[in-house]
Structure 1
Amino acid sequence: MQRLPLPEQFQSIPKRQIDDYVEDDPDKHEGRLRSFPHERGNWVSFVYIPYKESYDSDLLCDLITDFYLPKLKMRRCEEPHVSLTKTFILMHHWIDQFILSVKSSVKMLPRFQLTFDTIKVYQNEEKNRTFLGLKVNLGNKELLNSLEVLREPFRDYKLDAFYQDPCFHMSIVWCPGDVKCQIEETLPILREKVNEFVKNRGGRNNLCTIFVDYYICKTGYKMYKLQLD
């Protein structure tokens, strides 16, 4: 049987290319390396609390990046957030039911407030990126309770997604490589400058505050809102 030609209006649309292997290019995403090999049908996911950046947070990032020049070229973190889980893999056919299960688990959790009281140095598990972040002060109890609630749906899918000893924080600037010791040498001076900045901006004892009424589960390019009570 002879195949009919493609209609003219569709001939200019490029064919979608699907590869089983995607080469990781750190230059395309700020030096980050993929923790999981790319496989078709596997969606890299995590649960987090989003933060809406403000004028004051922009100034704080500028203060920190300027402080470390020219020795270290610190860069702003895209879309700052507080992670509740490690990254984990969802099979594509799990996603809809998994999201329903997680939404059902967290919907009875009360809304709450997060505050941050100091700057600390953090690293990713591979130790190829070093971060400066704001450590959570008020709200740790609510976050730990949220993790307990989330464990059941994650356990149903046999997902290892929780830190053994979570230290809740929000990374705001980063630098490639393992430069933790180098940053910590001058951290007391930086903290003094940050405290002075907060005082001059009319702040009290908190560097930042987030009012939490939902979480986000990001899986691949999709984001799902997990509404709290």
Structure 2
Amino acid sequence: MPLVQYPDSSSEDDSKGITVEELSQLSSATPTSALKRKRIELDQSSSELPPLPASFYDLYSTNARTSTRDDPSLHGGRKRAVPHVEGNWATHVYLEWHPSQTESTALHTIISLVQSRTEPSAGASPSPQIHPLFLSSLGVPLPLHISISRPLILRAPQRDPFLATLSTYLRKSAVRPFEIVFTTLKWVPNFERTRWFLVLGIARPTNDELNRLLQACNQAAEVFGLPRLYTGDGDTRHEKQNSQPQDLSSSFHISIAWTLAEPLPETHALLTSDPVARFVDTDVRKLEVGFEAVKVKIGNVVSTVGLGLRPKSEIGGILG
């Protein structure tokens, strides 16, 4: 298709007297240093983009549904622990960790070491594939988390009251931003034993922040007759609150990978022997992960409750 020839504009009329040779001379007269300086300024401006706000990740925390029913074939064989029921809202309270490049490399190394030492000998059946939780099937980085609630089910009218009640208990816990370090590596199953997770144990933080957050979350769950985490109970509607909080530090963990098959005894054993154990001791235990907020996911909506916020009852007055 031939190009359409448009009449010259007034701006073009103004430049009719400039020849090609003159334009070439003008461009060649531009100092090279000025061009370099401009290029450096552009490079610096592009490399100094501000980081994405933490709330940005919450917008994409849920995968788009590709089926109207639960279909394990769409999720690598995984089965939903709590079947979806219309009118029910799956809820989870947790601390979120976005591993840095260095941290992701360390996690990759752990999985590679474990996977390579579970490879079968010639003629044996293939070993179960270990899937990282910090990468999607397309290689996109994903966040990891520490659970401070069980998978909860809310009815629609309970969503806002639960979030308000939980926020109140979290503020009363007076937990400020804190850091954790890792201890051990082990395999643990889910409640139904349909999946096994490779998890990193967590050392008790300096001010016992994890136990305090867990207690706050369990108190909120109890108000609504929901099961509490790490207590071994079910419906707590008619139970009295335990006035003596337990130390459940050994229960907290971060899952870094999963597999559908139960690991063999020798697979469990290799986690405490070289080279896996040595790498955990020399590299993984050096990692420090910080948390500044609690995440509350109700359905596909994620809310954030900042740590260090004072209870509303203590806020007020000029000096308050």
Q: Under TM normalisation by the shorter chain, which class is it?
A: 0.7 to 0.9
How many Å apart are 1:155 and its aligned residue?
Answer: 1.5
Q: Please, which runs of 5 or more residues in structure 1 have no aligned partner?
A: 1-20
Match of 1:5 in 2: none
Which amino acid letter does the alignment assign opposite residue 131 of structure 2? R
Q: Does 1:94 align with 2:161?
A: no
Match of 2:252 in 1: 168
Q: Does 1:150 align with 2:196?
A: no
Which amino acid letter does the alignment assign opposite residue 75 of structure 1? H
Give the distance between the partners of 1:161 and 1:186, measured in 2 at CA: 33
Query: Which residues in structure 2 correspond to 1:1-229 (within 5 Å)?
Result: 22-67=68-113, 68-69=115-116, 70=119, 71-78=127-134, 79-108=143-172, 109-111=174-176, 112-139=178-205, 141-164=208-231, 166=248, 167-179=251-263, 181-187=265-271, 188-189=273-274, 190-196=276-282, 198=283, 206-229=285-308
Is the CA contact (8 Å cut-off) linking 1:129 and 1:176 kept in structure 2?
A: yes
Give the distance between the partners of 1:115 and 1:30, measured in 2 at CA: 31
Is the CA contact (8 Å cut-off) linking 2:94 and 2:145 kept in structure 1?
A: yes
Which amino acid letter does the alignment assign opposite residue 87 of structure 1? P
Tell me the C-alpha RMSD between the 2 structures: 2.2
Q: Secondary structure at the match of 1:162?
A: coil
Give the distance between the partners of 2:80 and 2:286, measured in 1 at CA: 31
Is the CA contact (8 Å cut-off) linking 2:97 and 2:291 kept in structure 1?
A: no
Match of 1:3 in 2: none
Give the distance between the partners of 1:132 and 1:176, measured in 2 at CA: 11
How many Å apart are 1:218 and its aligned residue?
Answer: 1.0
Give the distance between the partners of 2:171 and 2:156, measured in 1 at CA: 24
Give the distance between the partners of 1:46 and 1:227, measured in 2 at CA: 16
Match of 2:5 in 1: none
Is the CA contact (8 Å cut-off) linking 2:149 and 2:217 kept in structure 1?
A: no
Give the TM-score normalised by structure 1: 0.79
Is the CA contact (8 Å cut-off) linking 2:175 and 2:213 kept in structure 1?
A: no
Match of 2:36 in 1: none
Q: How many residues align?
A: 202
Match of 2:31 in 1: none
- Offset from partner CA, 1:78-111 (integer Å, 9 cap, x none): 4311111110101122111111111121124222
Give the TM-score normalised by structure 2: 0.58
Give the distance between the partners of 2:196 and 2:287, measured in 1 at CA: 21
Q: Please, which runs of 5 or more residues in structure 2 have no aligned partner?
A: 1-66, 120-126, 135-142, 233-247, 309-320
Is the CA contact (8 Å cut-off) linking 2:150 and 2:229 kept in structure 1?
A: yes
Is the CA contact (8 Å cut-off) linking 1:85 and 1:162 kept in structure 2?
A: yes
Give the distance between the partners of 1:161 and 1:220, measured in 2 at CA: 19
Higher deviation after alignment, 90-99 or 68-77: 68-77
Is the CA contact (8 Å cut-off) linking 1:42 and 1:92 kept in structure 2?
A: yes
Give the distance between the partners of 2:300 and 2:267, measured in 1 at CA: 33
Is the CA contact (8 Å cut-off) linking 1:48 and 1:85 kept in structure 2?
A: yes
Is the CA contact (8 Å cut-off) linking 2:95 and 2:295 kept in structure 1?
A: yes
Which amino acid letter does the alignment assign opposite residue 153 of structure 2? I
Is the CA contact (8 Å cut-off) linking 1:50 and 1:82 kept in structure 2?
A: yes
Is the CA contact (8 Å cut-off) linking 1:47 and 1:83 kept in structure 2?
A: yes
Is the CA contact (8 Å cut-off) linking 2:96 and 2:294 kept in structure 1?
A: yes
Q: Secondary structure at the match of 1:32?
A: coil
Larger RCO of the pair (alpha carbons < 8 Å, separation 6+): 1
- Offset from partner CA, 1:33-86 (integer Å, 9 cap, x none): 112222111011111100011112221232233221343421111431111111
**Alignment identity in percent?**
24
